[in-house]
Amino acid sequence: SAVISQKPSRDICQRGTSLTIQCQVDSQVTMMFWYRQQPGQSLTLIATANQGSEATYESGFVIDKFPISRPNLTFSTLTVSNMSPEDSSIYLCSVGRDEKLFFGSGTQLSVL
Amino acid sequence: GNSVTQMEGPVTLSEEAFLTINCTYTATGYPSLFWYVQYPGEGLQLLLKATKADDKGSNKGFEATYRKETTSFHLEKGSVQVSDSAVYFCALSDLSGGSYIPTFGRGTSLIVHP
């Protein structure tokens, strides 16, 4: 298994500002994933973060809006930049092991 | 491409009632199938999985059988409890596509009343 600590757990932000979400894993993992979960919607993969290389973004998500850092094998950050109310959502980090995904508890973001 | 379709919620039941949450899938290869559960205020947790046809995954009284002929993986529990109230996500991962990153359904909210 994997224990994932994600913070902040929630935040309320003003339009035009940026928020950085941190994700810490209790063991080394090759790939970390960032998801967005909007109310009543499925989980949408934003990007895959590999240590030592640039993140791979899914269709509809760009690095300028969602820059990701992966400085080592146990840590990653996702920044939501220049926020608008449409960015209000839950953001989840996740790691894969043995074909299973383990998730952090999520960051509930509200943009006013 | 791969997709997962779940029944819409919320599903509202009384305690000790029988639960079924339907899930069907479309996949080009031979996927593994999963149910994840998200309790209020928490991240998703793996509930059970099945990796091949006719496999039955089970955990905490929940069961789901991988039915290739009907491309389904319905979640069942014989007697639900208030503590089962959560959002349940069906997912598949298709290694033949080169990645095990799952495809998720929309989630089905379950509300159990005492």
Instruction: Determine whether the interchain pair A48/B106 forms a contact, defined as Cβ–Cβ distance below 8 Å.
Output: no
| Gyration radius (Cα) of chain B, Å | 14
- Using the 8-state DSSP alphabet, how is residue A53 labeled? S
Confidence of residue A52 (pLDDT cuts 50, 70, 90): confident
d(CA A92, CA A79): 12
d(CA A34, CA A106): 10
- Mean pLDDT of the B55-60 span: 96
Is 90 exceeded by the pLDDT of residue B64? Answer: yes
Task: Kindly report the length of chain B.
Answer: 114
Q: Per-residue pLDDT tens for B65-96? A: 999 999 999 999 999 999 999 999 999 987 66
Pick from A61, A86, A77: nearest CA to A23: A77
Query: Of the candidates B42, B46, B104, which has its C-beta nearest A43's C-beta?
Result: B104
Is 70 exceeded by the pLDDT of residue B99? Answer: no
Q: For residue A99, list chain B residues with Cβ-Cβ distance below 8 A.
A: 32, 49, 51, 93, 95, 100
For residues A48 and B113, is the Cβ–Cβ distance under 8 A? no
The mean pLDDT of chain B is 91
Confidence of residue A27 (pLDDT cuts 50, 70, 90): very high
Torsion sign, CA atoms A19, A90, A66, A53: positive
Pick from A60, A22, A39, A100: nearest CA to B44: A100
Instruction: Determine whether the interchain pair B104/A42 forms a contact, defined as Cβ–Cβ distance below 8 Å.
Output: yes
Task: Kindly report the length of chain A.
Answer: 112
Is 70 exceeded by the pLDDT of residue A83? Answer: yes
Instruction: Determine whether the interchain pair A102/B42 forms a contact, defined as Cβ–Cβ distance below 8 Å.
Output: no
- Mean pLDDT of the A10-39 span: 93
- Here the tokens at position A109 are 């973001």
Parallel, antiparallel, or unpaired: how do β-strands B44-50 and A19-25 relate?
A: unpaired
Q: How crowded is residue A22: how many other Cβ atoms within 10 Å of its Cβ? A: 16
Q: How crowded is residue A11: how many other Cβ atoms within 10 Å of its Cβ? A: 15
Is 70 exceeded by the pLDDT of residue B98? Answer: no
- Mean pLDDT of the B33-56 span: 92
- Between residues 1 and 60 of chain B, which touch chain A (CB distance below 8 Å)? 4, 32, 34, 36, 41-46, 49, 51
Mutate to test the interface with B, among A31, A43, A90 (most CBs of B within 10 A): A43
Q: Which residues contact A63 (CB under 8 A, 6 or more apart)?
A: A54, A55, A57
Q: How far is C-alpha B26 from the chain's CA centre?
A: 14
Instruction: Determine whether the interchain pair A33/B106 forms a contact, defined as Cβ–Cβ distance below 8 Å.
Output: no
d(CA B28, CA B96): 8
Q: What is the pLDDT of residue B97?
A: 55
d(CA B47, CA A5): 20
